Structure 1
Amino acid sequence: MSSPLSPTLSQWLQKRHGLFIDGAARPARAAAEMPVIAPGHGGVIAHVADADAHDVADAIASARRAFRAPEWAGLSIRARARLINRLADAMEAHMEELYQLETLNNGRPLRETRAQLARVPDLFRYNAALAIARRDSVIPVEGNYHAFTNRGPVGVVANIAPFNHPLLIASRNLAPTFASGCTTVVKPSELTPLTTLRLAEIFTEAGLPPGVFNVVTGVGAAAGKALSEHPGINKLVLTGGTEAGRSAGAAAARNFVRQTLELGGKTPVIVFDDYSVDQAVNYAAFGAFVGAGQTCVCAARHIVHRRVYDEFVEKLARKADGLVVGDPFDPRTQMGPVVSQRQRERILDYVRIGAAEGARLAAGGVVPAELSESSGFYVRPTVLADVHPDMRVAREEVFGPFTVVLPFDTEEEAIAIANGSEYGLAAAVRTTDVARAHRVAKALEAGIVWVNDHHRVDAASPWGGVKLSGIGREFGQEAFDGYFDTKAVMVNTSNAPFDWFDVTQTNARLN
């Protein structure tokens, strides 16, 4: 397998990577470590510290000190915005290194990594602009009163990030954290911690004060649990599976911590018969197989009008069979490995579950023959056809290059199938009928709906789900506002004498 890493990055990987607390790397208290595996070849590429509850407490204490320190809390809004823009510039200057490191660590093809991460610095610039543009409200009230709101940063943010998009998802929460004046402890996935650790170093070198950005590496059951249940945090931001969110959210709720949780999904895509089948298939492959399908908004359920159903299945299967699976650093590769052997076995298990339920395997569902001797975690992009809505493969999140196809006859039936899920993160519609597009988008139970597209996001557009797909929103003004506590201030502008207990007083007002 080719890995054209820069000499600087190769040298960096050879270090023993500690926790990042108070602006510097340090080992875990118990000196525990864990290996980091490259999905592309299955080998160990680094060792990182394995944090326990004591390490997590140290990181939270560091973040709390920094939250009150004049180097951070004393910054004016404009000075903080200038600093955040410097962070964006520093990140941009290191992007080639970050592209390579992320591709090596999570197995995404380098072309995909570049396409996803190139715009990440702008998340910081957007939130810096929101900080400058922020206005608190003046509230008109009756009587001789001036009422207004005053917002302040909530405090210490616990940021638990997943393996699939480590740098993007960490950054989409770091940006409003810094712009609001909060501080943070980030717990990246134990599978893909490397870009987060490197980003902490880059930001510190660019002038971010110590303790504002701390990183604890470790497994979710230990470090993640300790972080989410610690009384020293003020906000929990987690992206992950629904069960992980349920567990961490319940722990944080005991301390009445505010939460933003982006959890599981089973994204429905409704394909109407007025839309180009070829274009629908291209979007289907993009939605289902980009990132090896390891996205919460993976196009997991294609609900296709019966008049074009057979053609759609045949062309999607052919498209899936034609994709080049392989080395993520090879420019010819169109889909890389999944993140681990465990994840690959989960996907193959669902192929067997689908067959037992009566679904037809139209494409994939196997380890690529040409990579059968590889130690990497490769699997062919998989399409199951003739699926019914009550099958497990149509209801449960697989989190891999795995999609199912179901037929429908009427618009109402398509909407009912799409909404017949416990998840509600994203949905998509394929149609040329403008009225139908608006009508169906409104009817779909999801936090995000794409019409004739998939996976698109913008720093200004809110992102999040309904039902078991989570609570709260990331990106946009909605996310930025979620990092503040709002204080209501009411000023009596009258000097008239007041004595509530003077019974001769008339027109007394209690509230």
Structure 2
Amino acid sequence: MSETHAPTTAADTVKVFGHHINGCSVPSASGRLIDVHAPATGEVIARVADGGLQEVQQAVAAARTALTSPEWAVMSPRERGKLVIHLAELMERNLEELFHLETLNNGRPLRETRSQISRAPDLFRYNAALAIARRDDVIPVEGPYFTFTKRLPIGVVANISPFNHPLLIACRNIAPTLASGCTTVVKPSEYTPLTVLRLAEIFEAGGLPPGVLNVVTGYGATAGKALVENPGINKLVLTGGTESGRLAGAAAASNFAHQTLELGGKTPVLVFGDYDVDRAVDLALFGAFVGAGQTCVCAARHIVHRSIYAPFVEKLAARADALRVGDPFDPATQVGPVISEKQRQRVLRFVEAGKAEGARLVAGGVVPDDPALAGGFFVRPTVFADVTNQMQIAREEVFGPFTVVIPFDTEDEAIEIANDTPYGLGAAIRTNDITRALRFVDQIDAGIVWINDHHRIDPASPWGGVKLSGTGREYGEEAFNAYFTTKAVMVRTSDERFDWFADADAPQRLN
């Protein structure tokens, strides 16, 4: 596929995808299909099966069968690690196809897609290494006992992944699922199911046993609801909005499923007066507008010391206005579309809310006037200044190319503004004073903090939030270990006879 848009596709030639269950493409029982659109043009690029209870039950049953199948269950950790490394290599061989399919499906500029998905194979290698290096514990205890633990795969994992990073977020959960010996049912966003469906095909063609990785497509209110409520799942992993996480988490909790939830955010970025303004603006553009701002750690609130506030606002507005919005396959494009017309209207409603609240719109806030972009879901990168933290635009997650700037005078005021939010996923600090930076790391309510950077991840570094931003961690040993249950084993090593009732007068150990 060339780095231009594919031609408009006639409706009768649009490819139809079924669910991927137990190694087969399965149509929905209802026969209904969901149109998948290219956000850059609005065109229908595919149709996927609209799943519900029946398909979810079928997929969970396949995953449960695979969990104990000889092909999967008896595989040693070393063998499984080798297989997962092989899958990483297969993914790497198919990256070019996945780059283009992801860009077509979710509208991120191809440069961003390449930079992001090219790292996904390392998620599998990292978790494979943890599987190979895994060691259980021997526990010293009082008395004649040898005590040890055995870690066992937790079971069937429900993986609900979002539209903003469709393949990466799915992979960050598929990788530890496979490396741990679990099985999974993935429910991708109805907006962006294509790369996950393709990955399942690639992996099974490369030797992953059928039923280990299943994909059910559909809407959250039907397929997603049926999945989180299914008593056959043992763990829920979800990335999405806070309200979606609350509903899904409550449903999964009714079956006592373990949970890892990465939810909403309203990331504070503290910019101190000793930091170079131009460098701060560079990072602000990256943090706020990469992925068209559709990230849970979007640099949503820039809390800037008053000594550099005016030049920061001026330069950020000018740079935001200069960003090239357009076709994600065009190498010159810097910001692509948002995922849908519904999402664009949400962004524009926040623009109107900001104006009504008295904030100063200094950049963007409009739909581009380029006729070539008329069919897509584009909105100009938007910056509001003179914002207070009580305004709606400073408190609610927009999920678009939208950021606000808030002035502060003292360190105490900065931390108070930063923490005055129900969210706590990411935070960032811009300062040349490392002592100050580390002091703020301890004070800020966030699961991830970047000092003089933004949005960086690594397979070994845990990722997750506090407060309404979720529970549990992804990436790192913390995530891998959460795919196991722990069984404790105590072995009596004494040959002396033990008769509790016959030796009632002798001191005995009860517990």
TM-score, normalised on structure 2?
0.97
Number of the residue aligned with 1:469 = 469
| Matched residue type, 2:444 | L
Please name the residue that 1:458 is paired with.
458
Q: Residue 220 of structure 2 corresponds to which residue in structure 1?
A: 220
Question: Which whole-Å CA distance do the structure 2 matches of 1:170 and 1:14 have between them?
Answer: 25
Q: What is the match of residue 194 of structure 1?
A: 194
Q: CA deviation at 1:510?
A: 1.1
> Is the contact made by 2:238 and 2:260 (CA closer than 8 Å) also made in structure 1?
yes
1:339-373 per-position Cα deviation (integer Å, ceiling 9, x unaligned) = 00000000000010011111000100000122486
Residue 390 of structure 2 corresponds to 390
Q: Relative to structure 1, is the Cα distance of residues 371 and 438 closer, same or farther in structure 2, using a 3 angstrom cutoff?
A: farther
Matching of residues 67-216 of structure 1 within 5 Å: 67-216=67-216
2:41–2:373 Cα contact (<8 Å) kept:
no
Question: Is the partner of 1:423 in helix, strand or coil?
Answer: coil
Q: Aligned equivalents of 1:219 and 1:378: distance in 2?
A: 24
Task: Report the equivalent of 1:289.
Answer: 289
SS at match of 1:152: strand
Asked if the contact 1:5/1:100 (under 8 Å) is kept, the reply is no
2:359 equivalent in structure 1: 359
The offset of 1:507, in angstroms, is 2.1
1:265-414 maps to which residues of 2 (within 5 A)?
Answer: 265-371=265-371, 374-414=374-414
In 2, Cα distance between the equivalents of 1:133 and 1:407? 49
Q: How far is the alpha carbon of 1:462 from its aligned partner?
A: 0.1
Partner SS, residue 334 of structure 2: coil
Query: Are residues 1:482 and 2:482 paired?
Result: yes
Partners of 2:114 and 2:380 in 1: how far apart?
Answer: 23
The residue type equivalent to 2:398 in the other structure is V
Which residue identity lines up with residue 439 of structure 2 in the other structure?
R
CA distance in 2, matches of 1:133, 1:22: 29
Deviation per CA, 1:129-167, whole angstroms, max 9, x where unpaired?
000111111111111111111100011000000000000
Shift of 1:94: 0.4
Percent identity between matched residues is 67
| Structure 2 counterpart SS, 1:499 | coil
User: Which residue identity lines up with residue 383 of structure 1 in the other structure?
Assistant: V
Q: What SS does the corresponding residue of 1:336 show, helix, strand or coil?
A: coil
- Please tell me the residue identity of whatever aligns with 2:301: R
TM-superposed deviation, 1:496: 1.1
| TM-aligned CA deviation for residue 58 of structure 1 | 0.2
Give, in whole Å, the separation in 2 of the partners of 1:231 and 1:384: 46
Instruction: Give 1:25-104 correspondences, 5 Å limit.
Output: 25-104=25-104
C-alpha distance in 2 between matches for 1:171 and 1:139: 34
> Which stretch has the larger CA shift, 26-35 or 339-348?
26-35
Deviations 1:76-112 (A, max 9, x none): 1111111111110110000000000000000000000
User: For 1:97 and 1:191, how far apart are their aligned partners in 2?
Assistant: 19
Corresponding residue of 2:441: 441
Structure 2 unmatched runs, 5+? none
Q: Is the 8 A contact 1:473 1:479 kept in 2?
A: yes
After TM superposition, the runs of 4+ consecutive aligned structure 1 residues lying more than 6 A away are: none
Partner of 1:468: helix, strand, or coil?
Answer: helix
Distance 1:342 1:378 in 2: 11
Between the aligned partners of 2:373 and 2:462, the Cα distance in structure 1 is: 43
Q: CA separation of 1:412/1:236 partners in 2, compared to 1, >3 Å: closer, same or farther? A: same
State the distance in 1 between where 2:443 and 2:137 align: 33
Q: From the superposition, tell whether residues 190 and 67 of structure 1 become closer, same or farther in structure 2 (CA, over 3 Å).
A: same
Q: For residue 502 of structure 1, report the CA deviation from its aligned partner.
A: 2.6
Structure-2 separation of matches of 1:502 and 1:273: 78
Shift of 1:14: 4.3
C-alpha distance in structure 2 between counterparts of 1:302 and 1:400, whole Å? 15
Does the residue aligned with 2:36 lie in a helix, a strand or coil? strand
**How many Å separate the matches in 2 of 1:488 and 1:443?**
38
Q: Confirm or deny: 8 A CA contact 1:6 1:97 kept in the other structure.
A: no
Provide the C-alpha distance between the structure 2 equivalents of 1:345 and 1:64, rounded to a whole number of angstroms.
41
Contact 2:326 2:373 in 1 (8 A): no
The DSSP-based 3-state class of the residue aligned with 1:487 is strand
- SS of 1:265's partner is coil
| CA distance, structure 2, for counterparts of residue 211 and residue 372 of structure 1 | 44
2:387 partner amino acid: V
Distance 1:159 1:468 in 2: 20
- 5+ residue gaps, structure 1: none
SS in 1 for 2:35: strand
Q: Distance in 1 between matches of 2:459 and 2:373?
A: 42
| CA distance in 2: counterparts of 1:488 and 1:160, whole angstroms | 31
1:254 aligned partner, one-letter code: S
State how far apart, in whole Å, the 1-side matches of 2:344 and 2:314 are.
25
Cα distance, 1:505 vs structure 2: 3.9
Letter in 2 for 1:314: E
For residue 502 of structure 1, what is the amino acid of its counterpart? A
Letter in 2 for 1:363: A
* Aligned partner of residue 421 in structure 1, secondary structure: coil
The structure-2 alpha-carbon separation of the partners of 1:372 and 1:394, relative to structure 1 and needing over 3 Å to count, comes to farther
Letter paired with 2:351: V
Deviation at 1:506, TM superposition (A): 2.0
Structure 1 residue 485: Cα displacement: 0.3
Deviation of the 1:30 alpha carbon: 1.6
Q: For 1:210 and 1:457, locate their aligned partners in 2 and report how far apart those are by CA, in whole Å.
A: 31
Contact map agreement 1:371 1:378 (CA 8 A) in 2: no
Distance (Å, rounded) in 2 between the aligned partners of 1:63 and 1:398 = 36
Aligned-partner Cα distance in 1 for 2:282–2:502: 78
AA in 2 matched with 1:67: L
**Secondary structure at the counterpart of residue 510 of structure 1:** coil
Distance 1:146 1:14 in 2: 63
Letter in 2 for 1:472: G
> In structure 1, what is the equivalent of residue 263 of structure 2?
263
Aligned to 2:235: 235
